[in-house]
Amino acid sequence: MLMRLAAIAALSTLAGCLGPAEFRGWSEREYKFTNCTGAASVSTCHEQARVLCPEGYQLAEERSDPEIKRYSIIVKCGAPPPAVEEPSPRPRTRRAAPAPATPK
């Protein structure tokens, strides 16, 4: 039993040396993946994204697990599209009730 635990401990130590797993799932070239596992917060990933995309970026996905300090984001370089301002809704007004007819 002790040998098994030692073997598992050795393998888990080696697995940490191999580096982060290769990211798969967003194969489009315009998407960038940043991994900041071990950082204090996900803001470190956003700092890396600003370096990768100096013109700005759009957040496609954010994954975080603060308990084990594992953070990653996927971004698309380029400034986000301009916001489209919608016209404000027309104010609704009630028509005044007709005045009651007075007998003559």
What are the residues facing 18 on neighbouring strands?
none
Q: Quick one: pLDDT at residue 49?
A: 92
Q: Against a cut of 0.75, is the pTM above it?
A: no
Mean pLDDT for 68-88 is 82
Q: Quick one: pLDDT at residue 27?
A: 58
- Is the pLDDT at 23 greater than 90? The verdict is no
- Strand ranges (E), the chain: 31-35, 57-65, 70-77
CA distances from 14 to 4, 61, 102 (A): 15, 29, 96
Mean pLDDT for 41-51 is 92
Work out the pLDDT band at 100, boundaries 50, 70, 90.
confident
